Amino acid sequence: MEKTEANSLKNKARGGKSTYDPFSISLKWQSKWEEEGIYQPDLQNAKRPFYNLMMFPYPSAEGLHIGSIFTFGGVDVYARFKRMQGYDVFEPIGLDGFGIHSENHALKTGTHPFEHAKTTEENFYRQLHSTGISFAWKNKLETYDPGYYRWTQWLFIELFKAGLAYKKKSPVNFCPSCKTVLADEQVIDGKCERCSSIVEKRDLEQWFFKITDYAERLLNNIEGLDWSHKVKVAQKNWIGKKTGINISYDVEGIGTEVTVFTTRPDTNFGATFIAIAPEHPLVMEITTPENKKAVKAYIEQSAKKSDIERTAEGKEKSGVFTGSYAINQLTGYKMPIWVSDFVLVGFGTGALVGVPGHDHRDFEFASKFGLEIKRVVVGSDGDTSPITKLEQVQEEEGKMVNSDFLNGLDIHDATEKIMDYMEEKGYGERVSTYHLRDWLISRQRYWGPPIPMIFCKECHDKGESWFTTDEGRKHHELDRDDPENQHTFGWYPAPELPVELPYVENYKPLGTGKAPLANYPDFYEVKCPRCGLPATRETDVSDTFLDSAWYFLRYLATDSDEAPFPSSKFKVQSSKLNGRECFLPVTMYIGGAEHSVLHLLYARFVTMVLKDLGYLDFEEPFSRFYAHGLIIKDGAKMSKSKGNVINPDVYIKKYGADAVRCYLLFLGPFNQGGDFRDSGMDGMSRFLKRVWKLFVDSELDGNMTPGAMSMMNETVKGVTEDLEELRYNTALSKLMIWYNFLVKQEKLSREEGETYVKLLAPVAPHMTEELWSIFGNAFSVHTSAWPTFDTKAIVHETVKLAVQVNGKLRAVLELDQVSAKDEKKVRELAEKEPSVAKFLEGKSVKKFIYVSGKILNFVAI
RNA sequence: GGGCGAGUGGCGGAAUGGUAUACGCGAUAGUCUCAAAAACUAUUGGUCACUGAGACCUUGAGGGUUCGAGUCCCUCUUCGCCCACCA
């Protein structure tokens, strides 16, 4: 207190106009911005729409941490920059409040999720306001608001009607701690991504979305997206397209065949066994009576194991013989069929053909169970001996041997040839297989939108469903006899939305495979919308990733309950939304790379579906996606368990939001983040104070020299280009360089002052707004026009030329512009330089290189 | 095991194939002060020389292309992230 007063007295004594008090400045302008609504674009009549979107966060009771300020700050700089460039920038914010994360927190603190949500919401928005981000506050949304999730449910029903949602019993990932099933994408290393418990396999009936129908399109579109490279690669890998061939082998004496998938049919002359997954539907059928007992025991045993156990240390193979053999058409070899849990039911056909000579896993399996190992490839090491050691297993390259008509061919040529041959003979057909699984959407939890479906036992038994109603038939023709379609029997969409999540006392997860709502008959007892007989509601809720898969559409229609989002398909009903679709698709999307696979893939899928249903006229939701970096502390991710979470409130209070924001962005490149340290914050705070002082004390009545003019144009150019590419750290350094120049000038011009403040405005919005007003300009700097630059004005009176001898710097010549263009003169001057002459002495110049205005090099021997 | 990315001062980092270490932090010295803080000024990659001018070395290691390489190519190495019994 005393200090501040003393400082301000001193400033006054020096004749300063006013002290820099970031705190009061921030409050003053934040309320003014909101009053004037300058960040609220006219959604309907925007001329140059620019949708600048950040991933909305899921709230936690602790509120924002410093990393959020970094992210939000970086996103906001871009929004402010684009706004000043004349775009109608729409930058909304909301809360991804539904989901296991929030529910677990509520459980832990013993607060009901309804109350928990209310308090975190208040805290979150209050904190966000203090950061001064240019949000369109009027368009905020929360995923747990019935006004929001009625449309999430609408979306579910649209997918159901399009035949893209189905309920099916299958082995699914189950987290014993969260007591719910999880999508494939939410299992990391065999563990739950939320709580790190080891995930179990359970056979449960669940709702799925047929995202695999879109695998090819999701993959093909990636190439054309303006996205961070690593995110594109991650998506490609996750979709995991592999081309190969499905080969069917007759099972001897059973009258059926077993189909395997392989990408290496070239090695098929060396195939000596078949392995099928324990969950494979054919297992019991092909098992001979004397082996049934052992096979059954093995299946039961592996069903109990989690994926992580199945793939655990040493990768010791296990398996059991079925007693049957499959005939290899190429060799006539009788391949024993084994059941083994290293074969995954979800990949390929759930069965593989073993070539132990040329696949590491097959080798391990064959050696363990004494199966034959044949060599059919010789690698570049020239080894032709029998394969007895793992090191001899040649997978990568080589030439074919012991393979009849393939002999001598390179393995890649052999692959093509044998595939042609097998297709011709009818042994198999080329196929593509994907790593991507259908999206498991059900969650046996409480805190989510109830899945809006009703099941009628009566209709089910009669083979009726929504698809056999008049309306249903129009939508999607289903073949009732196809066993694949029988899972839809008895199901109807809820006739009224929203299906509200009821407030219940006991919301704890049950762990029985049923959701908490299954204990509340008031909720689930309904009448069948078709036949009127007693029916039951679905009691599972949907995955929280469904909430976030379409939120960017909703921001544009938060003031409407007539339609989920603006679309020409809804135009008749809701006129006030008309035209708002011009903001779509999202112009710029910024978020964490950790969502590369989950959220971004789901959002793309949902958008494609909505396009196919005629609601949208584009199929990729995010034109540009930029992955920001992370702020870490002492080299480690910030987390509560490590106790290294930095609370931004303290710093904002001490230094002001502008300084905190600038400091974080100056730390390093925006796509890399950086390590948080206290010390640098002082430096940034100092810089802002210096800038403040420079302009507050200046009369701004000077005239600019050509040098000053050049400096200004150069800075405008540099900062403009840097901001365009989100290079905030270098943009700030360019502003510091210009400051260092300006502070040495006798007098500053008005243009210099205004230009400087404008360039700084996106990163330090409060301070620049105050300076703008002190300059006597009309509100607001943030809606003023971004400065332009003239490349021609960037001129330097003199040119510094580096003089090299044999590529080594020996002197620097400073010449005027005209002389520098004269190569002959430049060469003469350079040769006269003593330090150059010294190195040229006694040598002859073989070559002379002159890059105009930059460098000259004598090549002398 | 596979994929992606990155190694530059004491630290964070900057460099369209053309003067490496911009900008900031830190450090040292000075000005102001009774003193301190703040602020301001100067210096700050290394080694040798240091009376002076200077010389040599330096972007993880080693090769290559080039008049010229932090930047392009190859080999190796370390670290980070993502995915993994994927047939």
Per residue in A79-98, pLDDT (tens digit) is 999 999 999 999 999 999 99
- pLDDT per position as a tens digit, A482-537: 777 788 899 999 999 999 999 999 999 988 889 999 999 999 999 999 999 999 99
Give yes or no for residue A3 having a pLDDT over 80.
no
Top-confidence residue, A472 or A487: A472
Cβ neighbors of A525 (< 8 A, separation 6 or more) are A534, A536, A537
- Residue range A764-791, pLDDT digits in tens: 999 999 999 999 999 999 999 999 999 9
Give strand letter and number of the nucleotide nearest A312 (CA to C1'): B85
Report the side by side order of strands in the sheet with A453-455: A491-493, A453-455, A534-537, A525-527
Least confident of A194-198, A254-258, A608-612: A194-198
Interatomic distance A349 CA / B71 C1' (Å):
48
Instruction: Give strand letter and number of the nucleotide nearest A360 (CA to C1').
Output: B85
By C1' distance from the Cα of A233, the closest nucleotide is B4
CA A667 → C1' B55, Å? 37
Task: Give the residue nearest to nucleotide B68 (CA to C1').
Answer: A807
First-residue to last-residue Cα distance in chain A:
71
Residue A17 has pLDDT above 70, yes or no: no
Residue A7 clears pLDDT 70, i.e. is over it: no
Nearest nucleotide (C1') to alpha carbon of A855: B18
**Using one digit for the tens of pLDDT, what is the confidence trace for A733-761?**
999 999 999 999 989 999 999 999 999 99
Q: Across residues A149-166, what is the average pLDDT?
A: 96
User: What is the DSSP secondary structure assignment for residue A350, as one 8-state letter?
Assistant: S
Mean pLDDT across A831-858: 87
Chain B positions under 7 Å from a protein CB? 2-5, 12-16, 18-20, 22-26, 38-41, 54-57, 67-69, 81-87
- In angstroms, the CA of A134 and the C1' of B64 are apart by 53
Residue scoring higher pLDDT (A749 or A833)? A749
Would the CA dihedral through A58, A59, A60, A66 be positive or negative?
positive
Q: Which residues pair with A534 in a beta bridge?
A: A527
Q: Give the CA-to-C1' distance from A729 to B25 in angstroms.
A: 14
Q: Which nucleotide is nearest to A316 (CA to C1')?
A: B85
For chain A, what percent of residues have pLDDT higher than 90? 66
* A733 closest-nt by C1' vs CA: B23
Spacing of A515 CA from B58 C1' in Å? 65
Distance A131 CA to B32 C1' (A): 37
What's the confidence (pLDDT) of residue A315?
65
Buried b (16+ CB within 10 A) or exposed e, A411-450: beebbebbbebbeeeebbeeeebbebbbbbbbbbbbbbbb
Question: Using an 8 Å Cβ cutoff, are A429 and A246 in contact?
Answer: yes
Predicted local distance difference test score (pLDDT) of residue A15: 41
- A127: part of which helix (H) or strand (E)? helix A113-129
Q: pLDDT tier at A312 (50, 70, 90 boundaries)?
A: low
A445 CA to B83 C1', in Å?
28
Rg (chain A; Cα; Å): 34
Q: How far: A381 CA to B59 C1' (Å)?
A: 39
Rounded CA–C1' distance between A673 and B6, in angstroms: 13
Nearest to A215, CA basis, from A241, A192, A189, A191: A241
Secondary structure class of A488 (helix, strand, coil): helix
Q: Give me the amino acid identity at A581.
A: E
pTM over 0.80: yes
**Beta carbons within 8 Å of A381's beta carbon, 6+ residues apart:** none
User: In the prediction, which pLDDT does A239 show?
Assistant: 93
In Å, how far are A75, A240, A327, A388 from A333, measured between CA atoms? 63, 32, 6, 20
Which nucleotide has the least CA–C1' distance to A359?
B87
Q: Which nucleotide is nearest to A802 (CA to C1')?
A: B19
* pLDDT tens per residue across span A650-688: 899 999 999 999 999 999 999 988 888 877 888 999 999
d(CA A754, CA A737): 17
Of the two residues A312 and A707, the one the predictor is more confident about is: A707
pLDDT, mean of residues A682-710:
92
Q: Which residue, chain included where needed, has tokens 């600048």?
A: A52
| pLDDT of A250 higher than 50 | yes
At residue A12, does pLDDT exceed 90?
no
Average pLDDT, chain A: 90
Give, in Å, how far the C1' of B42 lies from the CA of A682. Answer: 21
- How do residues A559-590 score in pLDDT, each as one tens digit? 999 999 999 998 776 688 999 999 999 999 99
Cα A659 to chain centroid, rounded:
29
Q: Which of A119-128, A305-314, A581-590, A816-825 has the lowest mean pLDDT?
A: A305-314
Asked whether residue A9 carries a pLDDT value surpassing 50, the answer given is no
Which tens digit of pLDDT belongs to each residue from A582-618?
999 999 999 988 887 889 999 999 999 999 999 999 9
